[in-house]
Each structure stands twice: as structure tokens, then as C-alpha cells.
Chain A
Amino acid sequence: MLNIKTIDDASINERVYQLNLGPQHPSTHGVLHLLLKLDGEVVIAADPIVGYSHRGHEKMAENRIWEQFLPNTSRIDYLSGLIYNQGYCMAVEKLCGIEVPERAEYIRVITSELNRISSHLLGIMAFVMDIGAFTPFLYGWDDREHVLDLLERVTGSRLTYCYNRFGGVRNDIDQEFCDGTRRFIDRLRGRFKDYHNLITENIIFIKRTRGVGIITEETALEFGVTGPSLRGSGVNYDVRKNEPYSVYPEFDFEIPVRKEGDVMARYQVRMAEMEQSMNIIEQALDNLPEGPVRSHVPRFIDPPAGDIYFAFESARGAVGYYIVSDGTRVPYRIKVRTPSFSNLFVLTRVLPGNFIADAIATLGSIDVVVPEIDR
């Protein structure tokens, strides 16, 4: 009954083994399939096969009106759903020339930065769990639940938000949300000491990540890598600073950049980025202007014909909406430029030559979200 495969002698003297780091694997953060060619422990070639959670967002954009595509935006990258929501609304507002009241811009920045913190928390802790540390995952989720409570009070959902509208946001934030956010930020600042003791100074973590999976600036340029993976390689590129949008120019925050370009550098950039997000939230809360949260916009908008490209910064890198509109109530074409798509395929250049364990650490440090790649 047990079918013992006959050993064909062709495979005996062959040293290259093909392993499926397949769709159902704890370390691929979703359904990413990495076909590895191995010589013993060393990776010779890595071929990412994607498409296992392809849902056809861009086809759906062509058969529904502008407002109906809003829920799709937060399901493309469900970890930074609010940031994608904000990006889509700002792209269409720029196309139609819709004015957004000052208070709505501030609320958008506050909720987006909170969303960025929750996305980084999950991205870092899942990556650290791939390396073998399970406890930080529990701590990280404890903090993340606080953020989700705050955002759920205002937006109504925990993960796939649909809070932004053309011309502003759905409803106003109240004093309870502001106090809750301040309490959360003080609490998270205290927790950073634990995270640094638990992870950054952990000798095993340092041994596993220092000098592993190095992305040089040249490779990043050739593959179009953006986001923390790029800022870990010494390039100071953040769309919030380089191409300021919304009210970001009114806050002073700096962009953490590290030179080494290895897995540890990308981790440190993400940790520092969370602290910067907290600065932004505090500054935004301090001078939150009064006023309406949504300008009057007709129920169905008719944008003028033309094409527009609007870039903004999500937790994983530079996202861009390329929208072609033919002046009717339905978009002609929406292309979503997602950062994980370019960040993932840099692995084909970075992984060869490492061990499998380093390959998994590098994949975790790139922090991909698979439906963002498959769209």
C-alpha cells in the first residue's frame, strides 16, 4: 500500500534539489510560493510564484463607479487599509479638484499614522517570529489591539476600513478618541524599552540578522525597491518628505535611514519609523483645527477626462494610483503601483548564496503582504 518511489539513477548524482517554500507556509505571511533551488543548505536560485490570492481589483475598477471602488482599496493591502483609502480619495480629489477641509486632512493623517503603527507592529513581530521568537508576537499584538480599539471607535472596522470619502472623512473624531490616542502613545513609548531589550539586544537575533540579505543601493535602484527596505540601504526616500502631500509639510519629523542594508537595518528603520509616526500623531493632535470634516461633494462625481498619477507612502513603501478617466462616472483604468511587488522580486537577486534560514529571515524583513502583490 505504501508506494515507495523507485530511485531513478538520474536523480542520484544530481546535487540541486528544488524545494517549494510553498503557498501554505508559516513564514510566507500569506500565500506566497517561493520555488528554491538548493545545493544542500545553500540557495542557488529563488523564483517567487505569485497569484494565489489574485482577486482582480483592477478589473473591478473598470466596472463600478468611483465610489464603489472605495472598499476595494483597503482590501488591496489590508494592513495599511486607511493609508490606501486616503491615497485613493486624494488621487480622485486631485483629479476633480475637490477641496478638503483642514480638519479632515488632520484626521486623515492621524488615522493613517495610527494604521502605519499597527501595520509595522504586525510586520516586525511576524518577522521576528519567523526567526524563532514567539513572545514579542504576543506583546506586539497586545499593543496592536489597542490601536484597533481606537480606530474601531471612529471608523467602525478593525482591518478593512472604508472611512475616507471624496472631500473628507465619514464622521468626526471625538475627545475620547484624542485622549485614548495620547494614552496609547505614552503606553507604546514605555513598551519600546521592552522591545529593545527583548529583540534588539538579543544575541541570537543579532547573529541571525547582522550582515544577512544585504540589498545594495544599486540593486534597489534596478528593482524599484521603496519603503523601509530601501531606507535600510542608505537611500533617504520617503514620499511624505520627498513629494509632500496632504498636511505632512506642517509636521516636523525626520526619516530614519540606515546604511548597512541588511536585515537588522530594515528592522531598526521600522522601529524608528514607529517613533516618528508617534511624533506626527502628537503634533497633529496638538493643533487639530475645528471645522467641518467633509466638504459638500455631489453624490456621484463626474471627474474630467485625463490621467493622473498620485504617489503616497504606505507602511511598505511608495504606493501609486495611476488613474485614467474618460469623463464618465466609471473609471477607464486604475493601476495600483504596490511597493511589495517590487520589493519581493529583489529577492531573486538577494537570496542566491544564502542559507535557507537566512532566506526566510530576508523574506520576513522585506515584510510583504501577498494580496498587495497579487492585487
Chain B
Amino acid sequence: MPSIDRSADHSVELKESPAILGFAALQDLLNLARVNSLWPMTFGIACCSIEMMAAGMARFDLDRFGIIFRSTPRQSDVMIVAGTISHKFVPTIKTLWEQMPGPKWVIAMGNCAISGGPFAYEGQYAIVNGADKFLPVDIYVPGCPPRPEGLIQGLLQLQKKITKGTIDANRRAEKAARRAKK
């Protein structure tokens, strides 16, 4: 098998310097603020981008979680990798990831971004099998394409991960269910 573009192998090197005034209580307080305004970057590659758009529209309405799609990496916190990552697109994804400021997270949406999905087979020459080959992925949303509710649950799971559990949509839902039963 001739050499296939191996640019995807070395992941993105970022020099992360933690906050100077970074004591835990302050960071937790700030995380509560960050969590309720997760601005993803519009960055749809393939079919999953349509379901990401559907999640942003009237019926599933991501705005109620404070999630507004920004088209430039300079103003976004979350990079939702929605679609198949081809070798030709890897340098661009790395550039966009490096150009995003401050605390940032990655959601791998759809089977293609998780593991190459329906296009992953032994002789595949065109795609990278998964975003975690070169990006620090936080949340994996399975599905081909995942339903908009799946993406919303992924974002809520990201909220739980950022605030280390203090904001937990599922726990709130269970409490509401218990209250309703009483």
C-alpha cells in the first residue's frame, strides 16, 4: 500500500498555560458562566451538519441553552466536528483548532468523526478514522447522523463534564420526575 498522507498522525501540539489567578473556587465559578454560553463554530462537513442545523432551529432550539453558532473560530468555545474528516481537510481543522481562544472543547458528532463510520474499512485511502486521531475530543455523539436530541444530550453532557457534575441535566430530570411522582 503506497504511502497515504500521514499528516493526521501527529496530533495538534498546543502550549497550554493555566490561568495565573487560577484557584479552584474562582475557576468553578467561571465554569458555571462558561457552561451556559457554549458558542460552537459552524463547521459542518457532511450529513451531520444538516442535523446540527436542525438542532439549532425552531423545534430543537439550541438557543435556550445559550448555544449560538458562531462562524469564526475567534469567538467560539466548542468545535463540533460534524462529518467525515478527509485527509485533505486535516490541516484546515488543525488551523481552526489552533485559532480558537481560551477554554475550548471538541465534540465528535456522528460515527464518521468518532471512528470513520460507514466509510471505515481496511483499504480506505481517503478519510481519517476519527477526530481523536489528532484532536483532544471531549464528547462523542454517536449516530449516523445522530438525532438533534442526541446532539443536545451531548452538549448537556459537556456541561456536566466542564462543571465536574455540579450542573447535571440528567440529575435535574430525575429530581423533576420524582417530584412529579409524589
Q: Do A and B come from one complex?
A: yes
Interface positions of A (Cβ within 8 A of B)? 22-26, 30-31, 51-56, 59-60, 63, 71-72, 75, 78-79, 122, 137-138, 141-142, 144-145, 148, 158-160, 370-371, 374
Contacts of A374 in B (CB 8 A): 86
Kindly list chain B residues whose C-beta atoms are within 8 Å of the C-beta of A75.
46-47, 118
Q: Is the interface of A mostly helix, strand, loop or mixed?
A: helix
- Other A-B contacts than A141-B57, A141-B59, A160-B47, 7 sampled, CB-CB below 8 A, are A23-B89, A24-B43, A54-B86, A63-B121, A75-B47, A138-B58, A144-B54
A22-B92, A24-B43, A55-B126 known; A141-B51 Cβ under 8 A: no
Q: Given A23-B92, A159-B47, is A56 in contact with B144 using a C-beta cutoff of 8 Å? A: no
The answer to whether B96 and A159 touch across the interface, beta carbons within 8 angstroms, is: no
Q: In the complex, what distance in Å separates the CA atom of A25 from the CA atom of B41?
A: 10
Taking Cβ atoms with an 8 Å cutoff, the residues of B that contact A are: 41-47, 49-51, 53-54, 57-59, 71, 73, 83-84, 86, 88-89, 92, 96, 118-119, 121, 123-127, 144-145, 147
Are B125's CB and A122's CB within 8 A? no
- Given the complex, which residues of A lie within 8 Å of B119, measured CB to CB? 55-56, 60
Which 4 A-B pairs have CB atoms at the shortest separation, nearest pair first?
A: A141-B57, A78-B47, A56-B126, A52-B89
A-B contact pairs, 17 of them (CB 8 A): A25-B71, A30-B44, A30-B46, A31-B89, A55-B86, A56-B125, A59-B125, A60-B121, A72-B118, A78-B47, A79-B50, A138-B57, A145-B59, A158-B54, A159-B47, A159-B50, A371-B84
Q: Which residue of B lies closest to A50 (CB)?
A: B88
- Quick check: A53 and B83 within 8 Å, CB to CB? yes
Q: Beyond A23-B92, A75-B118, is A141–B53 a contact (Cβ under 8 Å)?
A: yes
Bound-complex Cα distance A159 to B82 (A): 14
| Known A23-B92, A31-B89, A137-B57; contact A52-B47, beta-carbon cutoff 8 A | no
- Which chain B residues border A79 with CB–CB below 8 Å? 50
CB of B51 within 8 A of CB of A158, answer yes
CB–CB A30/B126 < 8 A: no
- In the bound complex, residues from chain B placing their C-beta under 8 Å from that of A72 are 118
Task: Write out the residue numbers on chain A whose beta carbons fall within 8 Å of the beta carbon of B89.
Answer: 23, 31, 52-53
Contact A53 B84 (CB under 8 A): yes
Tell whether, in the assembled complex, residue B58 and residue A142 are in contact, meaning their CB atoms are under 8 Å apart. Answer: yes
Contact A78 B86 (CB under 8 A): no
Distance between Cα atoms of A172 and B88 in the complex (Å): 42
Report yes or no: A56 in contact with B127, Cβ–Cβ below 8 A: yes
**Across-interface contacts of B126 in A (CB, < 8 A):** 54-56, 59
Contact of A141 among B54, B83, B86, B88 (CB under 8 A): B54
- Bound CA–CA A71/B111 (angstroms): 14
Q: Which residue of chain B lies nearest to A71 when distances are taken between CB atoms in the complex?
A: B118
Name the distance in Å between A198's Cβ and chain B's nearest Cβ: 15
Please give, as numbers and ranges, the residues of chain A lying within 8 Å of B47 by CB-CB distance.
75, 78, 159-160, 371
User: Which residues of chain B are near A78, meaning CB under 8 Å?
Assistant: 46-47, 50
